Structure 1
Amino acid sequence: MGNVTRIVIIGGGPGGYEAALVAAQLGAEVTVVDTDGLGGSAVLTDCVPSKTLIATAEVMTTFDSSYEELGILVADTETSSGSAGGPPVEQGASVIGVDLGKVNRRVKRLAIAQSHDITQSVTRAGVTVLRGRGRLGGGGQAVDGSREVLVDAPDGTVQSLRADAVLIATGAHPRELPDAQPDGERILTWTQVYDLEELPRELIVVGSGVTGAEFAGAYQALGSKVTLVSSRDRVLPGEDPDAAEVLEDVFRRRGMNVMGRSRAESVKRIGDRVEVMLADGKVIEGTHCLMAVGSIPNTSDMGLEEAGVKLNDWGQIQVDRVSRTSAPGVYAAGDCTGVFMLASVAAMQGRIAMYHALGDAVQPLNLKTVASNVFTDPEIATVGYTAADVECGKMDAVVVKLPLRGNPRAKMQGIRDGFVKLFCRPGTGIVVGGVVVAPRASELIHPISLAVDANLTVEQVASAFTVYPSVSGSTAEVARQLHIRKRSDGES
């Protein structure tokens, strides 16, 4: 047993539990220290819950936006009397509604079930799971090269562990503004919305990044009157500009009040109402306010800096491409590093850390092969180099964008918004990036991800068979157009 490498992982999110599985498979003695339950915020309060909520919203949006065009009949709402002895129906009212309490109970149930499944998988692999808050102790390495991890247990006791390598995977929590303190009832963070029993009548969403845009679109689809407050010129400032423009147009067309260049200064609750004060003095009123203004890494009071772990100005742990920190034997993965705040990247960082720590073959993290998705309606999926990379000269690429409105399957399904965009190198035609804006874009991006990862050319993408009719046929069509255009510069 003396030769077994001891691994201690602080944090049980995707970066932590995926690392634990790899380390156990490679024969290490693994302990995971976790506070809230395996899965972390990705499973318990963020990714899984929000996408479950969005799944309900997606059904509502699909029906509401295309049922007339597809010839689907709904109950007559022109009369104010209820049907079959039911309660009166308001004239012109929608016959489709949502029981938010029921939706949220399902959200929580699925999150807990997934956390349970992860815990079972990890413990079956031989990993020890300790409940408590982990931190680095001792300030430095021991004589034998090991490190001390202190675990503050819920009962107030402190346990000391020795580790040959430590992985910090503690995630992040919602950022709060001093003058907009959440109360969990009317002023909310994205972790608190699942306690709502009734749908917010008038929801103000502050912040138009991915989280803000996803929740704004979801609650609008569920029936809330939504105002989206964006401090930037447009929604999703970090995404493809063409994609963001499509989404903002869709939001406005569906009745959302999108306020650009509007910075929220404070949020106050007044009885059952909220008031959002903007920097220009304007006040917006609603029944609820959701704050989506970024996140803060969970790195404070962990003894990191005392142990030689460097943090940046935002408190994020600085790591290299194999997840090493500046302190020997200490690795970090996930949102606490701020590298790319996605569950898939956290998991990959965690796995890479264990491969490196345990002397296995390791491929350094390559962010230019990461596929990501914004779960709005339509969804926005991206991979590889972006329009911003091309514009600033970081990548020389030819770009073609093909709207979905000409796609036969899209026409059949009543899809009017969206496009497929590909980036390829001039001359060689190697695919270096892509964007898909469409329903289920998260599923449609995969062939482009494969092309980017395997350095495929547009000719190879174009020559692969696609099903007719299919939305994915547009990917092959864009590749065919790039085959013609690849020796020229410019964008279609």
Structure 2
Amino acid sequence: MSTHESSVVIIGGGPGGYEAALVAAHLGAQVTVVDRDGLGGAAVLTDCVPSKTLIATADYMSEFETAAELGVHLEDREGDAVTDVVARLAEVNQRVLELAAAQSEDIGARLAEVGVRVIQGTGRLSGPGTVVTTGEGGEETLQADVVLVATGATPRVLPTAQPDGERILTWQQIYGLTDIPEHLVVVGSGVTGAELAQGFLGLGTRVTLVSSRDLVLPGEDQDAAAVIEDVFRRRGMEVLNRSRMESAQRRGEGVVVRLTDGREVEGSHVLIAVGAVPQTSDLGLEEAGVELSESGHIVVDRVSRTSVRGVYAAGDCTGVFALASVAAMQGRIAMSHALGDAVAPLRLGAVSANVFTDPEIATVGMTAAQAAEAEDVEAVTMPLARNPRAKMLGIQEGFVKLFASRGVGTVLGGVVVAPRASELIFPVALAVQNRLSVDQVASTFTVYPSLTGTLAEAARRLHPTEGDV
């Protein structure tokens, strides 16, 4: 396909959509993005950027607690100790929303620079190569050589816990709050629930976390989850393990969450964080022949192709990995494949991810569960508390865990539990992506003192010996 004659229509302006648009424009295609909710999608406007901004504020407040351990104390002008650090939620949320809007504007400016047309409205397939858009300018029919669907997902809503935007909230609605909730009940202990539970705890809210599993963060490394749950409890959060919500309703000036065992938890607000559902209805997908899974996700292969020639999909609507980084990669791969550029299929085994709790949990590649089932894998875990830089920073929790192939020493994966683990996982991700050996990692200079020194030490401990072969 000649890219100079190609037209691309992208439905959805989130990470999968706008990153795909940039690649397609670079390859010479005429690109139109049809976006309903704002460029950047949920990742920028209502999820990743807002939540991590709020969490960063909470992390900043927690540093005041560590400061006392380092010999630093707050005093007023009379020399009296300052005991309370207060967050003003209206100001916090105003900053959150302003940052999100600014990021969205930056994306729009970048798309305009490369000649991408943006239509504010909705798009619907009326055939494999035809998209009908509806926006402020009315209805328009676009013909396309390539169509990319990147419509994302939306919070899962339960019939017994209908959000009202005031007391019963989804994670997209919390940024409308102007006052710190007195008692926030968080239902769901996955990544979103755990992150926001600790975020509001750090802002000064009393938090009760309703978790259906034995540990919070059931999808994460269980050693890491145990560290996080212990931190939650020590900082005053009430964690209700093996508990399921039956309903959530308004009661007076607050809410009541009824559990399936008959218990009731009263609070001022409840945050429902029980997953997401793909936004794939009313897009004309099934009529066009695009295969959907039982859950409603678009079925794609490793180069983002759907079951219909010329129609691709990327992001949360595919159910591959609910990560903005994966959505962006899927979108880039889709355009490279569709427009004839060199492309490598998506490698899920090299995806790095992060849970923005305090400390953070960062992972890449092989998991502990996978390593336990494999006979030819070695693992080593090292606590960060022994690291000199960690001592200087007052870090007491956290660890580094590496997995490597026995005998060969190829780095297969890793887990980092630490402040800013999202930054520390990158050397491990490079090793996994490029199939480096533990010896190559261990022989690379690290700064002394630094937290990355523990990564190098873990690699040294995995050095293959004759007995490993």
TM-score range, shorter chain: over 0.9
Deviation at 1:74, TM superposition (A): 2.6
Q: Which moved further from structure 2: 23-32 or 55-64?
A: 55-64
| Equivalent residue, structure 2, for 1:440 | 420
SS at match of 2:209: strand
Which deviations, in whole Å up to 9, do the C-alpha atoms of 1:89-132 show, x marking residues without a partner?
9xx99420101100000000010011001001001101110011
Q: Which runs of 4+ in 1 moved over 2 A?
A: 484-489
Q: TM-score normalised to the size of structure 2?
A: 0.97
| Equivalent residue, structure 2, for 1:430 | 410
Say if 2:351 and 2:365, in contact at 8 Å, map to a contact too.
Answer: yes
Does residue 190 of structure 1 match 2:191? no
Q: Provide closer, same or farther for how the CA distance between residues 96 and 486 of structure 1 changes in structure 2, counting only shifts above 3 A.
A: farther
Q: Provide closer, same or farther for how the CA distance between residues 396 and 310 of structure 1 changes in structure 2, counting only shifts above 3 A.
A: farther
Say if 1:425 and 1:486, in contact at 8 Å, map to a contact too.
Answer: no
Say if 1:38 and 1:118, in contact at 8 Å, map to a contact too.
Answer: yes
Q: Provide closer, same or farther for how the CA distance between residues 133 and 278 of structure 1 changes in structure 2, counting only shifts above 3 A.
A: same
Deviation at 1:386, TM superposition (A): 0.5
Where do 5+ consecutive residues of structure 1 fail to align?
Answer: 77-82, 142-146
Say if 1:275 and 1:286, in contact at 8 Å, map to a contact too.
Answer: yes
Say if 1:9 and 1:169, in contact at 8 Å, map to a contact too.
Answer: yes
Does residue 167 of structure 1 match 2:136? no
Say if 1:164 and 1:329, in contact at 8 Å, map to a contact too.
Answer: yes
| Equivalent residue, structure 2, for 1:74 | 74
SS at match of 1:389: helix
SS at match of 1:317: coil
Which deviations, in whole Å up to 9, do the C-alpha atoms of 1:310-333 show, x marking residues without a partner?
111111101000000011110000
Kindly report which structure 2 residues correspond to 1:215-230, keeping only aligned pairs within 5 A, or say none: 215-230=196-211
Say if 2:3 and 2:28, in contact at 8 Å, map to a contact too.
Answer: no
Match of 1:148 among 107, 130, 133: 130
Where do 5+ consecutive residues of structure 2 fail to align?
Answer: none
Q: In structure 1, how many angstroms separate the alpha carbons of the residues matched to 2:157 and 2:304?
A: 28
SS at match of 1:57: helix
Kindly report which structure 2 residues correspond to 1:196-345, keeping only aligned pairs within 5 A, or say none: 196-345=177-326
Deviation at 1:485, TM superposition (A): 7.1
| Equivalent residue, structure 2, for 1:144 | none
Q: What RMSD in Å do the two structures reach over aligned CA positions?
A: 1.9
Deviation at 1:61, TM superposition (A): 1.4
Q: TM-score normalised to the size of structure 1?
A: 0.92
**Which residue identity lines up with residue 308 of structure 1 in the other structure?**
G
Deviation at 1:486, TM superposition (A): 9.2
**Which residue identity lines up with residue 71 of structure 1 in the other structure?**
G
Does residue 125 of structure 1 match 2:114? yes
**Which residue identity lines up with residue 158 of structure 2 in the other structure?**
L
Q: In structure 2, how many angstroms separate the alpha carbons of the residues matched to 1:385 and 1:321?
A: 19
**Which residue identity lines up with residue 255 of structure 2 in the other structure?**
V
Say if 1:398 and 1:488, in contact at 8 Å, map to a contact too.
Answer: no
Q: In structure 1, how many angstroms separate the alpha carbons of the residues matched to 2:202 and 2:338?
A: 46
Say if 1:426 and 1:486, in contact at 8 Å, map to a contact too.
Answer: no
Q: Provide closer, same or farther for how the CA distance between residues 101 and 486 of structure 1 changes in structure 2, counting only shifts above 3 A.
A: farther
Deviation at 1:288, TM superposition (A): 0.5
Say if 1:429 and 1:486, in contact at 8 Å, map to a contact too.
Answer: no
SS at match of 1:483: coil
Q: In structure 2, how many angstroms separate the alpha carbons of the residues matched to 1:303 and 1:346?
A: 21
Q: Provide closer, same or farther for how the CA distance between residues 185 and 93 of structure 1 changes in structure 2, counting only shifts above 3 A.
A: farther
Does residue 465 of structure 1 match 2:445? yes
Q: In structure 2, how many angstroms separate the alpha carbons of the residues matched to 1:448 and 1:477?
A: 13
Which deviations, in whole Å up to 9, do the C-alpha atoms of 1:385-428 show, x marking residues without a partner?
111112233x7310000001111111111100000000000000
Kindly report which structure 2 residues correspond to 1:24-103, keeping only aligned pairs within 5 A, or say none: 24-64=25-65, 66-75=66-75, 94-103=83-92
Does residue 134 of structure 1 match 2:123? yes
Q: Provide closer, same or farther for how the CA distance between residues 486 and 219 of structure 1 changes in structure 2, counting only shifts above 3 A.
A: farther
Kindly report which structure 2 residues correspond to 1:378-417, keeping only aligned pairs within 5 A, or say none: 378-393=359-374, 396-417=376-397
SS at match of 1:62: helix
**Which residue identity lines up with residue 115 of structure 1 in the other structure?**
S
Does residue 10 of structure 1 match 2:8? no
Q: In structure 2, how many angstroms separate the alpha carbons of the residues matched to 1:480 and 1:336?
A: 41
Deviation at 1:163, TM superposition (A): 0.5
Deviation at 1:197, TM superposition (A): 0.4
| Equivalent residue, structure 2, for 1:355 | 336
